[in-house]
Chains A and B, each alone.
Chain A
Amino acid sequence: SQQGEEDPQALSIQEGENATMNCSYKTSINNLQWYRQNSGRGLVHLILIRSNEREKHSGRLRVTLDTSKKSSSLLITASRAADTASYFCATEDYGQNFVFGPGTRLSVLP
């Protein structure tokens, strides 16, 4: 099955800096989604980008999708300590099959 893989596995930055996380996948997708998980909690949906879209924004979040390279990136601008969490990409194919990657642990230091 297809697999989303986030890179890096862990990222530590200072408050105010930008954080960039990458996701690669292997097969054709209908959309790609990014989720956030605070420690010990469930996943919260952040943003969905369809296969025919190249870029999407939501507040301080910017997501890009390059279907030719089968990759996506999530940029969090002007990070805050409250952004500390794990971030997961998930791909959905045309059969509505979801596959989640192992996630990136982001630490934002005050």
Chain B
Amino acid sequence: DVKVTQSSRYLVKRTGEKVFLECVQDMDHENMFWYRQDPGLGLRLIYFSYDVKMKEKGDIPEGYSVSREKKERFSLILESASTNQTSMYLCASSPIQINQPQHFGDGTRLSIL
């Protein structure tokens, strides 16, 4: 089975801090995604990557950056955390072929105080 592992289930940080969320997948998937999930809004795509060192902006990239130095790892960075970035963050991966599902990690619930 595909396993997508997010480094923390819960994280509490302070306003202005630089925050790193890590995600690792073990199925050699080309595509990796970062979403945030807020009540009533569903999942919103922040960034995605289809190859090492490649990244594409999603629908809400402002305030975030990403890093993909290795195929299995995709990091989300909050450059200067703000309270409106308090949310559930979900990482997902999928193979390059079409008609394939995304595989999700268990999420990181991030609170910015």
* Residues of A that sit less than 8 Å from B by CB: 1, 30-31, 33, 35, 40-45, 48, 50, 88, 90, 92, 94, 96, 98, 100-103
Query: Interface SS of chain B: helix, strand, loop or mixed?
Result: strand
**Residue pair A30, B102 in contact (C-beta under 8 Å):** no
Contact residues in A for B12 (Cβ distance below 8 Å): none
Chain B residue at smallest Cβ distance from A41: B106
Given A42-B107, A43-B90, are A98 and B42 also a contact pair (CB < 8 Å)? no
Using a Cβ cutoff of 8 Å, how many contacts connect chains A and B? 50
Given A1-B59, A40-B107, A42-B106, are A33 and B42 also a contact pair (CB < 8 Å)? no
Contact residues in B for A33 (Cβ distance below 8 Å): 101
Rank and list the top 4 A-B pairs by shortest CB-CB distance, nearest first.
Answer: A42-B104, A45-B101, A102-B42, A100-B43
Contact residues in B for A88 (Cβ distance below 8 Å): 42-43
The one of B43, B98, B103, B107 that contacts A96, using a Cβ cutoff of 8 Å: B98
Q: How far is the CA of A31 from the CA of B105 in the complex (A)?
A: 22
Given A30-B98, A50-B99, are A41 and B43 also a contact pair (CB < 8 Å)? no
**Residue pair A48, B101 in contact (C-beta under 8 Å):** yes
**Residue pair A48, B42 in contact (C-beta under 8 Å):** no
25 example contacts (A-B, Cβ-Cβ < 8 A) are as follows: A30-B99, A31-B99, A33-B101, A35-B101, A40-B107, A41-B106, A41-B107, A42-B90, A42-B92, A42-B104, A42-B106, A43-B43, A43-B90, A43-B102, A44-B104, A45-B101, A45-B102, A45-B103, A48-B99, A48-B101, A88-B43, A94-B98, A96-B31, A102-B40, A102-B41
